Amino acid sequence: MRRSLVLTGAAVTVLGLLAGCSSGDSSSDSGKTTLKVAALEGGYGRAMYTEVIKDYEASHPDIDVQLQISKSIEDEITPSMQAGNYPDVVVLGQGRKAGLTETLIKDEALEDLTPVLDEKVPGEDTTVGEKLTKGIVGNLNTNPYGNDQTYLMPMYYAPTGLFYNQGLFEENGWEVPTTWDEMFALGDEAEKQGIPLFTYPTAGYLDSYFYALLADIGGEQFYTDVMTYQQDVWETPNARRALDLTTRLLSYAAPETVGYANEQDFTKNQQLILDNEALFMPNGTWIVGEMADAPRADGFQWGLTPLPAVETGGSRYITTSVESVWIPKAAEHKDPAKDFIAYLYSDKAADIFAKSNAIQPIEGIADSLTGENAEFYQVYEDPSVSALVGGFASTAPVAGVDIKATLFDTANSIISGDTTEDEWQKSLNEASEKLRQAGD
Amino acid sequence: MTTLSTPPPGSTNRTSDTAAKEPSTRRSRRGARSASARLGRRRGNTGFVLACLLPALVLFAVFMVYPTMNVFRTSLYTWGGFSPDKDFVGLDNFRQLLDDDQFVRAFQNTVALMVVVTVVTMGMGLFLAAIMTRQRLRGRNLYRFVLYIPNVLSVVVIAAIFSAVYDQDNGLLNGTLRLLSLDGLQQVWLGNQDIVLYSVAIAMVWQSLGYYMVLYMAGMASIPEELYEASALDGASATRQFFSITLPLIWQSLRTTLTFFVMSAVNLSFVLVRAMTGGGPDGSSDVLLNYMYRQAYTNSSYGYGMAIGVVIFAFSFLVSLLVNRATKREPLQF
> Is A159-320+392-439 a domain of CATH 3.40.190.10?
yes
DSSP B283-295: TTT--HHHHHHII
pLDDT (tens digit per residue) in B23-35? 444 555 555 556 6
CATH of the domain at B273: 1.10.3720.10
Distance CA A282, CA A295 (A): 20
**pLDDT recorded at residue A356:** 82
- Count CB-CB contacts under 10 A for residue A416: 21
Same domain, B120 and B192: yes
**pLDDT recorded at residue A55:** 92
Cβ separation of B280 and A409 shorter than 8 Å?
A: yes
**Which of A21, A81, A85, A263 should be substituted to probe chain B, the one whose Cβ sees the most B Cβ atoms within 10 Å?**
A263
pLDDT (tens digit per residue) in A118-131? 999 988 889 998 88
Question: Are the beta carbons of A250 and A414 closer than 8 angstroms?
Answer: yes
Share of chain B above pLDDT 70, in %: 86
Mean pLDDT of the B236-247 span: 91
Q: Would you say residue A417 has pLDDT above 50?
A: yes
Distance CA B122, CA B208 (A): 10
Domain that holds residue B33: 6-74
Q: Would you say residue B295 has pLDDT above 50?
A: yes
Distance CA A189, CA A280 (A): 14
> Is 0.85 exceeded by the ipTM?
no
Same domain, B110 and B146: yes
CA distance from start to end of chain A? 70
Q: How confident is the model at residue B125 (pLDDT cuts 50, 70, 90)?
A: very high
B64 touches chain A (CB under 8 A): no
Comparison of pLDDT for B290 and A440, the residue scoring more? B290
Same domain, B67 and B134: no
Assigned domain for B86 exists:
no
Q: How confident is the model at residue A1 (pLDDT cuts 50, 70, 90)?
A: low
Same domain, B168 and B285: yes
Q: Collapsing DSSP states into helix, strand and coil, what is residue A67?
A: strand
Q: Would you say residue A342 has pLDDT above 60?
A: yes
Distance from CA of B43 to the nearest CA of A (A): 13
Q: How confident is the model at residue A346 (pLDDT cuts 50, 70, 90)?
A: very high
Mean pLDDT of the B263-275 span: 90
Q: Among B48, B93, B169, select the one facing A3 at the smallest CB separation.
A: B48
Distance CA A206, CA A281 (A): 9
The CATH class that applies to domain A27-158+322-377 reads alpha beta
Q: Would you say residue A370 has pLDDT above 80?
A: no
CA distances from B40 to A4, B35, B45, B46, B281 (A): 16, 8, 8, 10, 68
Share of chain B above pLDDT 90, in %: 52
Q: Which residues of A touch B281 (CB under 8 A)?
A: 203, 258, 261-262, 409, 412-413, 416
Same domain, B46 and B189: no
Same domain, B18 and B100: no
Residue type at B311 in one-letter notation: V
Question: Are the beta carbons of B273 and B291 closer than 8 angstroms?
Answer: no
What are the phi and psi torsion angles at A280 (to 5°)?
-125, 150
**Residue B186 carries which DSSP code?**
-
Rg (CA), chain A: 24
Assigned domain for B298 exists:
yes
Same domain, B36 and B174: no
**pLDDT recorded at residue B121:** 95
Provide the mean pLDDT of chain A: 87
Q: Would you say residue B314 has pLDDT above 90?
A: yes
Q: Which residues of A touch B163 (CB under 8 A)?
A: 264-265
Assigned domain for B175 exists:
yes
Same domain, B131 and B49: no
Phi-psi region of B264 (alpha: psi -120 to 50; beta: other; left: phi over 0): alpha
Q: How confident is the model at residue A28 (pLDDT cuts 50, 70, 90)?
A: very low
Number of domains in chain B: 2
Q: How confident is the model at residue A2 (pLDDT cuts 50, 70, 90)?
A: low
Assigned domain for B259 exists:
yes
Least confident range of A19-23, B7-11, B276-280, B311-315:
B7-11
Q: Among B62, B78, B81, select the one facing A103 at the smallest CB separation.
A: B81
Same domain, B102 and B148: yes
**pLDDT recorded at residue B3:** 39
Helices vs strands, H then E, count in chain A: 19, 8
Identify any residues that bridge with A301 across adjacent strands, giving them in sequence order.
Answer: none
Q: How confident is the model at residue A157 (pLDDT cuts 50, 70, 90)?
A: confident
